[in-house]
Amino acid sequence: MQMILLLIAATFGQRADTAQPPYTIRDTIFPAGEVRLSGRLYAPRGLSRYPVVVMVTGSGDVSVIDEPYTRVVAGAFAAAGIGALAYDKRGTGRSTGAPTGTDVQALGRDAAAAILFARRLPGVSAVGLWGISQAGWVVPYTLQKVKGVAFAILVSPAGVNPNEQVTFFLHRWMRGRGLTEAEADQADSMHLATVRYYASGRGYAAAQAQVDRFKNEPWFHRVVTDRYWDNMASEGQLYTPTQLADRVARHPGEFELLRSASSFVDYGRLYESLTLPTLVIYGSEDDLLPIDRSRTVIDAALRRRGSVAYEFRVFKGATHDIQTPDEQVRADYLELLTNWARARFTRR
């Protein structure tokens, strides 16, 4: 535990006098189908042979291989004699290809390519998976493409699909904006009608009627003018079918989530791909996803598999990234990661 605490302090610049990190780094580029991905291997210092955890990042369009959070997690693994391969998603960092926040099948193939690359690295004895947030949707597709992975650690995975997660987030956000539960439910119904219309391009009249139903409510202005809503042509007016088609053509990124089939998939069935030892971790103060619902979906899927060994851990007081409220990575979380991974690698 003491080593982990020192590692956190050093990574976030709280102690200038700490020893060198427990890893050496090597940057690389490796192929993943039609793209090439930039990666960084965090190798445990002083070891010529060791297992490696491939790190599958969450959402976002920036490089993650040198992020403080990546260095903390990779450093914890390295201190336990485990390497970590972090890589930038397609279209970020030095990785080629177009970035995507919704094509989780493509991201799953990329993660599979990272696993195959890690296996070929000199001295690597076995490979496991660690993934956070969006990786909960990616990893099931990864495991359909590659076998022989030692385990999967999923941090804050949403068992529900992206559309349901957004709905949950918006409901929590609206409650935080001062809406009552009944008012937030009304706004939810308006959001659902809007999503159905914008996702398909059909049902304009019904969606607009739902908006009209609530436009005189006292909460309406606060909701539809906020940056998290921002899906109307003007206040109280949805895009008409003609306007919508033009908007999608000129600004496809605005509608990527709504127009992606992966946003509405039943991920419960996909989680049956987890036929390997699995650790699922949540923070009790996560305000981005419905923890209880997500856990129920994943638990049901893994129960259907029957033979898979899995467990859930919830860190009381932790956020989505298993951090403290002041954004420090929890030391007990890092200790769990390393002990759990080391035990599974040893059993192989």
* Average pLDDT in the chain: 91
Once rounded to an integer, what is the mean pLDDT over residues 190-201? 93
pLDDT tens column, 94-148 = 999 999 988 999 999 999 999 999 999 999 999 999 999 999 999 999 999 999 9
Looking at residue 304, what is its pLDDT? Answer: 87
d(CA 296, CA 288): 16
Is residue 107 within 8 A of residue 162, CB to CB? The reply is no
- Tell me: do 249 and 316 sit in the same domain: no
Alpha helices (H) in 24-103, listed in sequence order: 68-79
Q: How many Cα atoms are found within 13 Å in the side-chain-facing hemisphere of 29?
A: 8
Using CA of residue 225, residue 230, residue 231, residue 233, what is the dihedral sign? Answer: positive
**For residue 13, is pLDDT > 70?**
no
Task: Report whether pLDDT(17) > 50.
Answer: no
Residues 31 and 136 in one domain: yes
Same domain membership, residue 281 and residue 245: no
Could you tell me if 183 and 301 lie in one domain? Answer: no
State residue 25's pLDDT score. 97
Which residue, 212, 240, 262, sits at the end of a domain? 262
Q: Are residues 284 and 343 in the same domain?
A: yes
Stretch 260-284: mean pLDDT: 92
For residue 259, what pLDDT is reported?
Answer: 86
Percent of the chain with pLDDT over 70: 94
* Number of domains, the chain: 2
The set of residues, in sequence order, having a beta carbon less than 8 Å from that of 256 and lying 6+ positions away, is 100, 101, 102
Q: Look at residues 227, 262, 297 and tell me which one is the last residue of a structural domain.
A: 262
pLDDT at 307: 63
Q: Is position 270 within any domain?
A: no
Under DSSP, the state recorded for 123 is T
Element (H, E) at 336: helix 331-347
89 lies in the same domain as 30: yes
What is the distance between the alpha carbons of residues 258 and 58, in angstroms, rounded to a whole number?
19
Same domain (yes/no): 115, 170: no
251 and 171 housed in the same domain: yes
DSSP state of 22: S
Q: Are residues 49 and 155 in the same domain?
A: yes
CATH of the domain at 147: 3.40.50.1820
Tokens of 319: 């956020």
Per the document, the length of the chain is 348
Task: Report the pLDDT value the prediction gives residue 233, as an integer from 0 to 100.
Answer: 79
Whether residues 230 and 309 fall in one domain: no
Residue where the block lists tokens 């192929």: 31
Predicted TM-score (pTM) of this structure: 0.89
Q: Does 267 fall in a domain?
A: no
Strand-pair category, 35-44 with 23-32: antiparallel
Are 262 and 162 in contact, with CB atoms under 8 Å apart?
A: yes
Q: Which residue has the tokens 């490089």?
A: 63
Domain that holds residue 110: 2-160+275-347
Residue 295 within any structural domain of the chain: yes
Half-sphere CA count of 31, side-chain side, radius 13 A: 3
**Residue range 170-186: mean pLDDT, rounded:** 94
Asked whether residue 311 is domain-assigned, the answer is: yes
**Do 139 and 158 contact (CB within 8 A), yes or no?**
no
Q: Average pLDDT for residues 252-279, to the nearest whole number?
A: 89
226 SS3 class:
coil
Examine residue 269 and state whether it is found in any structural domain, yes or no: no
How confident is the model at residue 18, as a pLDDT?
Answer: 56
Does 111 lie in the same domain as 20?
yes
| Res. 90: pLDDT tops 70 | yes
Judgement on whether residues 279 and 149 belong to the same structural domain of the protein: yes
Is residue 268 included in any domain, yes or no?
no
Percent helix, strand, coil in the chain, to 5, is 45, 20, 35
3-state secondary structure (DSSP) of residue 177: coil
Domain boundary, last residue among 235, 262, 289: 262
